[in-house]
């Protein structure tokens, strides 16, 4: 074999091995590492069909290899022709029955799994209901029974059924948390439903799985499963939002003012912004308790001061295609100070609504 051909084959083999080495079964978004009943049922069906196809493949290639070797042209008898015949009743009956059995073996569990995972369920006591709306390019999560609206981070109690009503505000999106459940599309006015249940507390990573133009690849989200107590404390924190806490810190106070004067309140809702009433409109990410979020811009970067200031300064540089405008000209002398102040204000949101903060304010949400 010439050297170049040998090299090409070696490169192909090594490259292939490296490529396969990149596949891992326990990745953050791996269907092969299921959690919860829906993903488990889908995983089991996948593995069953996979095992069955291995049996079919081994049998088919086995027969082929046997025939190739057994009836090959031999050097010591090049003119030998194997016995010629046409038709074989047992073979043809077998070749009809076996595939039918294989189809049944795949079809029965498939149909059973479809009914188990895709049937619309009726909410029962203990279920959590979330209205999920897909937007270009972020997620709105509304808990109608809890009075909570948030974005991009879906908090759920572990071990409880969560019913998701899926809708889109614009184009098709698809809700996909591979470890919890297969994809389900968000279609305007279609009212699709999906239910999930996370067995254990933890973070489950999700991604829009329907090409929705622009920043589709940046339309991530997280499902944060918590204990019942943690989940309830999180939901309660939305009921106890208190804007009085911003008065305490002058930097935060300045950011609080700028949040309105720079126009943020035209789009973004913050519950309790003014004397317990909220500002903003529903069709943009709700920033209530924003300081409790772990990520920014639909899961693109961690939610910290540095990333938040970079985002406020030039949103397009962080996530190309999004609808957030840059609010400062490049030569604006006040930009640095104002951006820092708004970041301080936003990061403070949520800190003031915990039980300790309530106690330090000397009141509860019921007193106004
Ligand atoms: Cu939304 Cu892709």
What's the mean pLDDT in 28-47? 91
Which ligand 1 atom is nearest residue 134's CA? 1
| CATH code at 250-357 | 2.60.40.420
Contact 197 CB / ligand 1 (< 6 Å): no
Per-residue model confidence (pLDDT) at position 363: 37
Q: Which of the four pLDDT bands, split at 50, 70 and 90, describes residue 115?
A: very high
Q: If you measure from the C-alpha of residue 178 to the centroid of ligand 1, how many angstroms do you get, rounded to a whole number?
A: 15
Among the listed ranges 253-262, 320-329, 355-364, which one has the minimum average pLDDT value? 355-364
Contact 216 CB / ligand 1 (< 6 Å): yes
Which ligand 1 atom is nearest residue 172's CA? 1
Please list the residues that pair with 168 across neighbouring strands: 134
Q: Do 288 and 271 form a contact (C-beta atoms < 8 A)?
A: yes
Contact 215 CB / ligand 1 (< 6 Å): no
**CA 101 – CA 109 distance, rounded (Å):** 13
CATH topology of domain 3-74+85-118: Helix Hairpins (1.10.287)
How many CB atoms sit inside 10 A of residue 68's CB? Answer: 9
Q: Which of the four pLDDT bands, split at 50, 70 and 90, describes residue 360?
A: very low
Judged against a pLDDT cut of 80, whether residue 100 lies above it is answered with yes
Judged against a pLDDT cut of 90, whether residue 240 lies above it is answered with no
**CA 36 – CA 330 distance, rounded (Å):** 49
Which ligand 1 atom is nearest residue 216's CA? 2
Nearest CA to ligand 1 atom 1: 173
Q: Do domains 128-239 and 250-357 have the same CATH topology?
A: yes
Token pair of 182 as six digits: 């297969």
Who contacts 165 (Cβ-Cβ below 8 Å, separation ≥6)?
129, 130, 131, 132, 191, 192, 193
What's the mean pLDDT in 74-78? 87
What does pLDDT average to over the chain?
A: 87
Whole-prediction pTM: 0.83
Its CATH architecture, for the domain 128-239, is Sandwich (2.60)
Contact 43 CB / ligand 1 (< 6 Å): no
Per-residue model confidence (pLDDT) at position 353: 53
pLDDT tens per residue, range 136-169: 999 999 999 998 999 999 999 999 999 999 999 9
Please list the residues that pair with 176 across neighbouring strands: 207
Q: If you measure from the C-alpha of residue 113 to the centroid of ligand 1, how many angstroms do you get, rounded to a whole number?
A: 26
Domain spans of the chain?
A: 3-74+85-118, 128-239, 250-357
Instruction: Tell me which of 104 and 82 has the higher pLDDT.
Output: 104
Percent of the chain with pLDDT over 90: 51
Judged against a pLDDT cut of 80, whether residue 326 lies above it is answered with yes
């Amino acid at each position: 074999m010439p050297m170049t051909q040998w090299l090409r084959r070696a490169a192909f083999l090594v490259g292939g091995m490296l490529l396969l080495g990149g596949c891992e079964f326990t990745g953050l978004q791996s269907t092969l590492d299921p959690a919860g009943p829906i993903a488990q049922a889908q995983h089991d069906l996948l593995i069953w069909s996979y095992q069955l196809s291995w049996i079919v493949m081994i049998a088919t290639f086995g027969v082929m290899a046997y025939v190739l070797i057994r009836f090959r042209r031999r050097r010591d008898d090049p003119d030998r022709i194997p016995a010629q015949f046409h038709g074989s009743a047992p073979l043809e009956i077998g070749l009809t029955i076996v595939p039918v059995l294989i189809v049944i073996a795949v079809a029965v569990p498939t149909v059973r799994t479809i009914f188990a995972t895709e049937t619309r369920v009726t909410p029962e006591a203990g279920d959590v209901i979330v209205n999920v709306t897909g937007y270009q390019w972020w997620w709105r999560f509304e808990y109608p029974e809890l009075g909570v609206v948030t974005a991009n981070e879906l908090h759920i109690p572990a071990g409880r059924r969560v019913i998701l009503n899926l809708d889109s505000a614009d184009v098709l999106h698809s809700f996909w948390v591979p470890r919890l459940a297969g994809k389900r599309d968000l279609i305007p006015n279609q009212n699709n439903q999906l239910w999930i249940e996370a067995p254990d507390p933890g973070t489950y990573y999700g991604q829009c799985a329907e090409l929705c133009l622009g920043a589709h690849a940046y339309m991530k989200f997280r499902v944060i499963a918590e204990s019942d107590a943690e989940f309830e404390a999180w939901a309660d924190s939305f009921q106890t939002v208190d804007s009085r806490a911003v008065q305490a810190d002058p930097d935060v106070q300045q950011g609080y003012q700028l949040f309105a004067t720079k126009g943020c309140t035209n789009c973004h809702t913050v519950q309790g912004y003014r004397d317990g009433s909220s500002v903003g409109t529903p069709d943009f990410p709700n920033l209530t308790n924003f300081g409790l979020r772990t990520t920014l811009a639909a899961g693109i970067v961690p939610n910290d001061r540095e990333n938040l200031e970079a985002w406020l300064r030039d949103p397009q540089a962080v996530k190309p295609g999004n609808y957030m405008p840059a609010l400062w000209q490049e030569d604006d002398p006040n930009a640095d100070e104002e951006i820092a102040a708004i970041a301080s204000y936003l990061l403070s949101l949520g800190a003031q609504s915990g039980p300790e903060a309530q106690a330090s304010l000397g009141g509860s949400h019921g007193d106004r």
